[in-house]
């Protein structure tokens, strides 16, 4: 039987207050929808492979880029990001508050978000564009336009988990807008290493693979949906959780993933209830890299990649040619073990110049010994920081 599971890692912060509350929730909702739509596109491109992305990292990098877009390009980006009903200032204010709310550094949960702009020295970038990226996204701005400097920044901001994002800088590239997210969380209740044993993990092709499987019993936030079961595994004080979704063996991951969307996600998040049970989960470590050009184009952002039609006049003064997005590179890392989870993500947007009272409930038993989906979510803001599917633990 082909089997799989999905894990979602979500991080939640403090409740929003004041003027930006509604706007921040709209930003968060837009990011969640974008994440699931991108994930669906990547499933098509990466059939039978592990996938792990950070919707938050992608959305923040694109939000900075959105500040330089005009005309139909701005409208297309706003639609894909879910910002159609908001002004640019409202979007920026919402992002600023969201990032301030998400970041934390305590004994059990560390979450940092960093942004940067890397400018080619011979180009004249608009002051307003640079100022918005600095004021609202706390972006570091540098003219050290080199692979060594950019990759060094990436390595530092991801705590050495991602050591580079670019191999070389093409001659016509004039700017990189980069977001980096680093997360490290210790389980609220750790898995006992003594209970980790090698068991069968069922692969998509019907074969089995012996792999270290962690196990823990107790009370969990649990949900039994149609053809799947799900459990929430909290970190630290419970403000951040990993949500593991295990499809029934007779349905499988592919069938489950057809129902992954923002609407279903919000409904599922409201359906978890405390229940006694057991969870068996593989240890795993995944590194993932993808180019998002095709996926974002399919979702409606094709104009931003068009060398002739893209409109980023709000970003830079040029006498001839046209500025467009040449690449959106996304790279991630995640490791899950008995102590907790460490994850990192980097998104680089390359801008180039075309010059050219009931009976006691039955105890649940959840064994993630086949492909599954998972996400890391911020439980208070609802922000999905990372999401992925594991078809083969490595």
**Domain regions of the chain by residue span:** 18-186+286-334, 193-282+364-390
Three-state DSSP at 77 gives helix
- ∠ CA 336-81-225, nearest 5°, is 50
Residue 78, pLDDT score = 96
Give domain 193-282+364-390's CATH architecture: Roll (2.30)
Partners of 247 in beta bridges: 228
Q: pLDDT under 70 in the chain at which residues?
A: 1-20, 319-320, 355-361
- The tokens for 16 are 């929003």
Task: Look up the pTM and report it.
Answer: 0.90
SS3 content of the chain, % helix, strand, coil (to 5): 30, 40, 30
- The tokens for 289 are 């890299």
Distance CA 346, CA 332 (A): 6
Residue 60, pLDDT score = 97
Residue 361, pLDDT score = 65
Residue 10, pLDDT score = 47
CATH superfamily, domain 18-186+286-334, is Antithrombin, subunit I, domain 2 (3.30.497.10)
* Cβ–Cβ < 8 Å for 126, 150: no
């Amino acid at each position: 039987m082909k089997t799989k599971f999905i894990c979602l890692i979500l991080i939640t912060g403090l409740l929003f207050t004041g003027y930006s509350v509604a706007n921040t929730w709209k930003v968060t909702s837009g990011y969640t929808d974008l994440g699931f739509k991108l994930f669906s596109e990547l499933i098509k491109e990466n059939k039978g492979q592990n996938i792990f992305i950070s919707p938050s990292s992608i959305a923040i990098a694109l939000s900075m880029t959105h500040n330089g877009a005009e005309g139909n390009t701005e409208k297309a980006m706003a639609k894909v990001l879910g910002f159609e009903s908001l002004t640019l200032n409202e979007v920026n204010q919402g992002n600023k508050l969201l990032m301030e709310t998400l970041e934390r550094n305590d004994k059990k949960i560390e979450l940092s978000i960093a942004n940067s702009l890397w400018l080619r020295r011979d180009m004249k970038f608009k002051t307003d564009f640079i100022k918005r990226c600095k004021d609202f996204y706390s972006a570091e701005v540098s003219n050290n336009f080199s692979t060594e400097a950019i990759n060094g920044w990436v390595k530092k901001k991801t705590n050495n988990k991602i050591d580079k994002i670019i191999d070389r800088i093409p001659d016509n590239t004039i700017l990189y807008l980069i977001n980096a997210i680093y997360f490290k969380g210790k389980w609220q209740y750790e898995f006992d290493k003594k209970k980790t044993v090698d068991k069968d993990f069922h692969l998509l092709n019907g074969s089995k693979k012996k792999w270290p499987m962690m196990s823990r019993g107790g009370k969990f936030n649990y949900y039994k949906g149609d053809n799947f079961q799900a459990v929430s595994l909290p970190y630290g004080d419970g403000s951040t959780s990993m949500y593991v979704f295990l499809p029934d063996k007779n349905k499988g991951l592919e069938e489950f993933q057809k129902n992954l969307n923002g609407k279903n996600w919000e409904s599922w998040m409201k359906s978890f209830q405390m229940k006694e049970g057991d969870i068996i989960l593989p240890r795993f470590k995944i590194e993932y890299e993808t180019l998002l050009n095709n996926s974002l184009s399919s979702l409606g952002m094709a104009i931003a990649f068009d060398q002739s039609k893209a409109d980023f006049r709000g970003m830079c003064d040029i006498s001839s040619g046209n500025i467009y997005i040449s690449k959106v590179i996304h790279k991630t890392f995640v490791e899950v073990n008995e102590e907790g989870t460490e994850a990192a993500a980097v998104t680089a947007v390359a801008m180039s110049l075309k010059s050219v009272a009931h009976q006691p409930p039955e105890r649940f038993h959840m064994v993630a010994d086949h492909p599954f989906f998972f996400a890391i979510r911020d439980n208070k803001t609802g922000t999905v920081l990372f999401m992925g599917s594991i078809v083969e633990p490595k």
